[in-house]
Amino acid sequence: MKKTNFLVITMASLICLAAFAQTPQSPEEVKQKIRGAHFSTTSPTGESNEEWVSSADGTVLARRSGGLMKKAGASSTAPGHWSVNDAGQYCLHADWDVRQGGPEDWCAPIVGGDGAITLALADGRKVSVSR
């Protein structure tokens, strides 16, 4: 009886997870969703913020504030570019100065549907996307 209950609960959990799974999106679908969108995230420590806009021409100007710059009330910027890889993941390259941690390169899948869209980065950060 216990095995049957465990199996039923496990199967129900898997069905629920499958219902929330994202349908893979083509690179073109991803580009349409994020072209011109505003992105923002907070560092894993919560000390600094980063934001950028994915321009239609593929460029970004990323801005960081907080952290060590908070005392001076300053922020820093880095030019970069965005793209979408063959797996439909949003990719960002930002040319941060070495004092800001050096270049930033990552790709992440888009999570969410027509409503709230986010990116889930490997370091645990969530990136909010708005239009």
40 lies in which domain range? 25-130
50 found inside a domain? yes
% of the chain residues with pLDDT over 90: 30
* pLDDT confidence band for 5 (50 / 70 / 90): very low
pLDDT computed for residue 92 by the predictor: 95
> pTM for the whole thing?
0.72
Q: Is the pLDDT of residue 42 over 80?
A: yes
4 belongs to a structural domain: no
In this prediction, residue 15 carries a pLDDT of 36
What single letter denotes the amino acid at residue 128? S
Amino acid identity of residue 105, one-letter, is D
Q: What would the DSSP string read from start to end of 54-75?
A: --TTSEEEEEEEEGGGTTTT-E
Q: How many CB atoms lie within 10 A of CB 23?
A: 6
Query: What's the pLDDT at 16?
Result: 34
- What gap in Å lies between CA 47 and CA 51, rounded to an integer? 14
Rounded CA separation 109/89 (Å): 4
Tell me the two tokens of residue 104.
């930033």
In a domain, 90, yes or no: yes
Token pair belonging to 23: 């349908």
Q: What is the CATH number of the domain that holds 126?
A: 2.40.128.640
Residue 20, domain member (yes or no): no
Which secondary-structure segment (H or E) carries 30?
Answer: helix 27-34
CB 93 within 8 A of CB 105: yes
Whether 18 maps to a domain, the answer reads no
In a domain, 6, yes or no: no
Q: Tokens 């994915």, residue? A: 54
The total of structural domains in the chain comes to 1
The answer as to whether 14 is a domain residue is no
In percent, how much of the chain has pLDDT > 70? 74
41 in a domain, yes or no? yes
Report the alpha-carbon distance of residue 113 to residue 128 in Å, rounded: 13
